[in-house]
Every structure is written in C-alpha cells, then in structure tokens.
Amino acid sequence: MEKFTIYTQAKSSLGGKRSDTLTGVVASGNLEILFERKGEPLAVIVEVMTASHGYQHVWEAVIKDFVARVSPGGMYISIHDNGARPDTVLLRLMQGARLMEARS
C-alpha cells in the first residue's frame, strides 16, 4: 500500500451546503472517496491510500485535471483505492463534487 498527500489550490470554493459525502466502495478495481468541507476556502488537500504502487504521478495528473475542471476549493478529499483505473478515479471525483454541490 502506498500513502501520499497532494496539496493544491483551486480558483474558487466549491458551492453547496453539504459538509461531507461518500462515494464509491473499496471493491476490486474501485475506490471510495470522502469529501469534507474543511480548511482554507481555496485549498484542496487530497489524501491517497492505494493498494497499487508506483502511480503517484498518474494520481497527480488526474487530480490536476479534476481541480481544473471543477475548482473544488475548501475540500479535504480522502481516497481509499483498490486498483481503480484513472478514468474511474476521475468519474468518482466528479461524482463526489456533484454530491457536495447539492442544496441539502
């Protein structure tokens, strides 16, 4: 298992009122992502625990893409990964951001 944390900044804070949300499950080829609204309004912190070794640069690229698309400022994102492919990771990140943007 590999653990690392990616710190980055978004252009704006993520909208919505929800304080947290969970998406996905730690199944084979899948991952779970917990979004929590905490910290600096523009900061994005992504904590990754992954069963696959040696893919940190791929994670960094996917998260850069996600931050550019969604601008999830103020999010503390924790990931438990069990070998999800990059497209699945991006899909789950987008899903989580959309859930956080929900009104209630």
Partner 1 sequence: MIPENVMNQPSWYESSARARIEGLLDAGSFKEILGPQDHVMSPHLALFDLPPAFDDGMIIGRGLIDGRPVAIAAQEGQFMGGTFAEVSGAKLVGLLRAVARNAGTPQEVSTVFLLLDTGGVRLQEANAGEMAVSETIHAILDVRHAGVPVVALIGGRAGAFGGGGLVTACCSHIIISEQGRISVSGPEVIETNKGVEEFDSRDRALVWRVTGGRSRVLLGGADSYVKGDIGSFRKAAEVINNNAPPLSLETLEREQGRLEHRLKAYGNCHDTPEIWVIAGLSTPAGIADLTEDDFIDLLVKEGVRHDAR
Q: Strand, coil or helix: what is 73?
A: strand
List beta partners, residue 23: 33
Which range touches partner 1 (CB under 8 A), out of 5-13, 44-52, 64-72, 87-95? 44-52
Whole-angstrom distance, CA of residue 36 vs CA of residue 18: 9
* Contacts for 28 with CB less than 8 Å, ≥ 6 apart: 82, 83
Based on the shown chain and the rule CB under 8 A, indicate whether residue 32 belongs to the binding site for partner 1: yes
Which of residues 71 and 80 has its CB atom nearest to partner 1 in the complex? 80
Exactly one of 19, 56, 68, 69 binds partner 1 (CB under 8 A); that residue is 19
Q: Which residues bind partner 1 (CB under 8 A)?
A: 1, 19-20, 22, 25-28, 30, 32, 34, 36, 49-51, 78, 80-82
